[in-house]
Amino acid sequence: MQTMTNSLKLMLLVAVAATTATTAQAQNIDAAFDAYDAKDFETAASGFYAVRRLSDDAGEVAEAQRGLARSYEKLGLHLAALSVWSGVAESGNTHPHFSVAIEGLVNAGEALDDDLTMPKIIDKVYSGPNVETINKLNPEVLQRVYFHLGRYVFNRQNFKEARKMFKAVKEGNPAYAHAQYMQGLLRLGVGQPDRPPAKYDLATQHFEAARAAIPVDTKDPALVELRDLTSLALARLYYEQAFTLDEGPGRKELLDKAKAEFQQVPRFSDMWADALFERAWANTLDEQYGRALGALHSLSAPYFKDEFFPEAKILQAIIYWYNCQWDRVNGILDETRSTYEPMAEQMQGLAESNLDFGEWYPLLQKSLEPGADPGDKTLIPRAVALAITKDPGFQKMEKFLKEIEREQKVISKSKVFAKSDMGQGLSEEFDALAQGYLGVMGKFLKTKVRTLAEELASISTRAGLIALETKTAEADWLEQGRAIENLQRTRLPRPFIPDDTFQFWWFRNEYWIDELGYYEFTVKTECFE
Amino acid sequence: MKTSPLHTTALARVVRLVCAVAVPLALALPAQAQDDDADEGAGTPETADGDTNVDKADGGSADAGGDARDPSAPKPVLEETIFVVQGKPFLVQGKFELTPQIAQSINDSFTSHTGIILSGLYHLKENVAVEATLGGFGWLDERSGLPRVGGRDTDLTVELRQKENLAPERVKLYQFSYLAAANLQWSPMYGKVNVSDFVLGQFNLYLSVGAGISGLQLETLTPGVAQQNFVPLATPIAPLASFGGGLRFYFTDWLGVRVEVRDYVMPLAVFQNGDSAVEDADAPSFDVTNLILTQLGVSFVF
């Protein structure tokens, strides 16, 4: 009897405790909602976090997840929001906020410029019964989902599926211009191992549609970048077509178009250096050697000191070779080999070293330090390290890593977060994320260093080939009694000035910022029939 | 980084200048101009560094006979011929420019003029403009503490009057209260300037010619006392011709500074008799007066 009484008491106590706990959780979530409504998002986030962790009520947890993600969004903690939305999305369409989570994921991913994590999660959840739910999303959101999915499968070389996804993005959607650009790349066969024949006309249409969809006065950096990318893509497309043609009006017309597109890339934009370098190739093919050398000359200005175009030396040598200026060819080739051969060896050594992936990013940072010893073979050559930091893929990764650090700082500085267990939890979560991401970056950097080492080795090889051709030509000249050394050259006439809307200045070993991109050499052929 | 400023060697201040008349001439005869350049190269084979070198007889090929070269022969020229070919910046063509200026006379021994001039220009072309100018002169009378309109006697004139009881020819004591003129401006030279990569701007040198009127004042002839009252003049206005030149520098496409020297030339007389007689004239005197003003102002282009 006594035992029974005790049991009843225990049950009663448990029931009371349970009721009290439920009431406390309900009060907590109410308090969190109140804080959210009062725009005290830190307190709200802290409250939602506690409910999500402690509540046994699935409905309440779902509400807390949504409230937490929304609070993070309001606080500008997109990475934290991405993490919460990912959890909801991965629960599947049975979660009451699944659709909201998909939209939240896309928003957070776009805010972070993340084309790695967010598309991967969406691809993961875009299966089974979830597909039907996702397809019922607001068309604007759904098309953005398609775009991200398309880019994800494009990177995984599922080009057919990618095209289907990009085609589903309609005009007027924020992702339309991006999707058109990607379709253009697909039409050209970019990244496709089987190298299907390029469909130039269709690609041109897609690129032009992409450019037309970007407002002229846009300030959106992503759209501005896309516009420049589109101009570069069109220029490359015209150049590639011209390259396959024999000399004639058709080729000339395409080269003119290519050059015009290269000039569409604004001066001082991120892609200007690429446009200048590639324009030099187009000018070379068009036999406008003075302009080609002028474009390369711009790249040697202090303004471009952080740019890395080792191939520029090869192009210079080729231009002088075409003009039979053997002494200049030899000078450039000697410089090229003495500069890049040791660099290639050093990088090859690094690529073959046993560095952990996690050690590569610190190595890059160390290589970029102002006091770094240029002769230290354990570092990445400074010019290469700078070139890597300009790689768009690397820039995205670094931006993501810095966002992790930023959000960690925001959380550690918040007094509200410090009082709750959320701060500790998030901090640990971010530590793990940063560590994992360093590994991803390390893998990328190692591959990049290896690729660049191979490119530099290839440049040395090409320099050797040109040197061989030059020696043959020199021997031929000597046989014919022509001089190949100690040549005297005078200053030559200025290049053609189109009309009185143009002006010209001498270049006197002094780079002026307003003149970059406008240099022209006067090159006189020294060949003889 | 890409945003870092461009270095321009050790030069702190560098200027590039072009004579505007040279370009149209060169364009009119491009082929000839290029030949001339080539000839120039042949005649004075100057490298980009200014070294003098023996010219190659035929720029199109190296000479076969060049093998047996004198060891003391000049070193090979590897520097390239490099030009900058860029579109002209059309900053002001078809635009208005308003320039408030301060002005100070610089040449007159007996009177001095300080004033404010407002100049409005319309640029017909990048290097041709029409200008309307309106200015007034004034000074602060320290004895009365009041501002006065017109010019003033110089210290020399005051000293001559007060200590020596002397005075220059009366006509040389005319003072000017205001001036209004219309001018035509022409910029024969333009250029650009780069100061330590901090300032990069355009400038032009201009010449100006025009005509207008000036308001006249003449002090009464009171020995020993200066800066008194003015005699009534039958025609208190004088026609003028203006000649000038200056330098205009634009920091941006809407803001610049301008400094110029302008000579306002006026035929002036003090008559003893006739309709234009000055009532206290002691002797007739005539002069072609040059009021030379230095003017400094800020230009607003719109």
pLDDT for A23: 53
pTM for this entry: 0.79
CA distances from A417 to A26, A424, B116 (A): 21, 8, 65
- Which pair of tokens denotes residue B60? 């199109």
Q: Which of A302, A488, A518 sits opposite B76 (nearest CB)?
A: A488
- Reported as a single tens digit per residue, the pLDDT across B204-260 is 999 999 999 999 988 887 665 555 678 888 888 999 999 999 999 998 889 999 999
pLDDT for A495: 83
Using a CB-CB cut-off of 8 Å, the residues of chain A touching B42 are: 490
Q: Give pLDDT tens digits along chain A (529 positions).
A: 455 455 555 554 444 444 444 555 556 889 999 999 999 999 999 999 989 988 888 999 999 999 999 999 999 999 999 999 999 999 999 999 999 999 999 999 999 988 888 999 999 999 999 999 999 999 999 999 999 999 999 999 999 999 999 999 999 999 999 999 999 999 999 989 888 899 999 999 999 999 999 999 999 999 999 999 999 999 999 999 999 999 899 999 999 999 999 999 999 999 999 999 999 999 999 999 999 999 999 999 999 988 999 999 999 999 999 999 999 999 999 999 999 999 999 999 999 998 899 899 999 999 999 888 888 889 999 999 999 999 988 999 999 999 999 999 988 888 888 777 788 888 888 899 898 889 999 999 999 999 999 999 999 999 999 999 999 999 998 888 887 776 778 788 888 888 888 888 888 888 888 899 999 999 988 887 6
Nearest CA in chain A to B73: A486
Using a CB-CB cut-off of 8 Å, the residues of chain A touching B30 are: 496-497
Phi, psi dihedrals of residue A397, rounded to the nearest 5°: -65, -45
Give, rounded to a whole angstrom, the gap between the first and last alpha carbons of chain B: 34
pLDDT for B159: 79
Taking each continuous run of H as one helix and of E as one strand, the counts in chain A are: 22, 2
CB A400 within 8 A of CB A112: yes
- CB contact under 8 Å between B62 and A500, yes or no, is no
A355 CA to centre of own chain: 24
Q: In whole angstroms, what is the distance from residue A186 CA to residue A35 CA?
A: 49
Nearest CA in chain A to B47: A491
pLDDT for B282: 77
Using a CB-CB cut-off of 8 Å, the residues of chain B touching A268 are: 2
pLDDT for A190: 92
Nearest CA in chain B to A489: B77
Which residue from B275, B26, B285 is spatially nearest to A494, judged by alpha carbons?
A: B26
B79 DSSP assignment: -
- Which pair of tokens denotes residue B243? 């000649």
Which residue from B217, B134, B215 is spatially nearest to B173, judged by alpha carbons?
A: B217
- What ipTM was reported for this prediction? 0.77
Q: Name the helix (H) or strand (E) containing B258.
A: strand B255-270
Q: In whole angstroms, what is the distance from residue A503 CA to residue A19 CA?
A: 86
CB atoms near residue B65 (< 10 Å): 11
- CB contact under 8 Å between B76 and A486, yes or no, is yes
Q: Which of A302, A492, A500 sits opposite B81 (nearest CB)?
A: A492
* Mean pLDDT score across all residues of chain B: 74
Using a CB-CB cut-off of 8 Å, the residues of chain A touching B64 are: 480-483
Using a CB-CB cut-off of 8 Å, the residues of chain B touching A526 are: 60-62
Mutate to test the interface with A, among B85, B91, B195, B198 (most CBs of A within 10 A): B85
Which residue from B292, B295, B294, B273 is spatially nearest to B284, judged by alpha carbons?
A: B273
Q: In whole angstroms, what is the distance from residue A49 CA to residue A17 CA?
A: 22
A483 vs chain B: nearest CA distance in angstroms? 6
Q: Which of B35, B76, B82 sits opposite A327 (nearest CB)?
A: B76
pLDDT for A11: 53
CB A223 within 8 A of CB A250: no
- Reported as a single tens digit per residue, the pLDDT across B18-75 is 554 444 433 333 333 333 333 333 333 333 333 333 233 333 333 333 333 344 544 5
The beta strand positions in B196-254, using DSSP E, are 199-217, 237-250
A to B CB pairs, distance under 8 Å: 187
- CB contact under 8 Å between B6 and A513, yes or no, is yes
Nearest CA in chain B to A502: B87
B99 in helix, strand or coil?
Answer: strand
The beta strand positions in A26-74, using DSSP E, are none
CB A446 within 8 A of CB A355: yes
- CB contact under 8 Å between B1 and A512, yes or no, is no
